[in-house]
Amino acid sequence: MHYFDEISLRPQLYIVEGDPSLLKEFTAYLLVKRTPSLIIDGGNKFDPFILSSFCKQLDMNAMEQVYVSRAFTIFQLKMLITSALPAFIRESAPSVVVVSFFSDLFRSDDVEGEIATILYKKLLFRLKEIVKTYCVPVVVTDHKNTVKIFDSRVSFKMKRNAMVLSIDQQTFQVPFIHPYQKTLDLWRTTHG
Read off the pLDDT of residues 34-79 as tens digits, 9 standing for 90 and up: 999 999 998 788 888 888 988 998 888 888 999 999 999 899 999 9
Cα atoms in the 13 Å half-sphere on the side-chain side of 39:
29
Q: Is residue 95 part of a domain?
A: yes
Q: Is residue 174 part of a domain?
A: no
Q: What is the pLDDT of residue 117?
A: 86
pTM: 0.84
- Greater pLDDT, 48 or 128: 128
Is the distance from CB of 155 to CB of 15 less than 8 angstroms?
A: no
Q: What is the pLDDT of residue 192?
A: 46
Q: Which residues contact 132 (CB under 8 A, 6 or more apart)?
A: none
Q: Is residue 61 part of a domain?
A: yes
- Greater pLDDT, 40 or 117: 40
The CATH number for 84's domain is: 3.40.50.300
Give all strands (DSSP E) within the chain, no chain letters: 13-18, 37-41, 66-70, 96-100, 138-142, 152-159, 162-167, 170-175
pLDDT band at 188; cut points 50, 70, 90 = low
Cβ atoms within 10 Å of 127's Cβ, excluding its own: 22
Q: Is residue 100 part of a domain?
A: yes
Q: Is residue 103 part of a domain?
A: yes
Q: What is the pLDDT of residue 42?
A: 86
When the pLDDT of each residue in the chain is averaged and rounded to a whole number, the result is: 85
The rounded distance, in Å, linking the Cα atoms of 24 and 43 is 11
Structurally, how many domains does the chain consist of?
1
The rounded distance, in Å, linking the Cα atoms of 50 and 6 is 20
Is the distance from CB of 27 to CB of 9 less than 8 angstroms?
A: no
Q: Can you give the residue range of the structural domain that contains 36?
A: 9-161
Q: Is residue 49 part of a domain?
A: yes
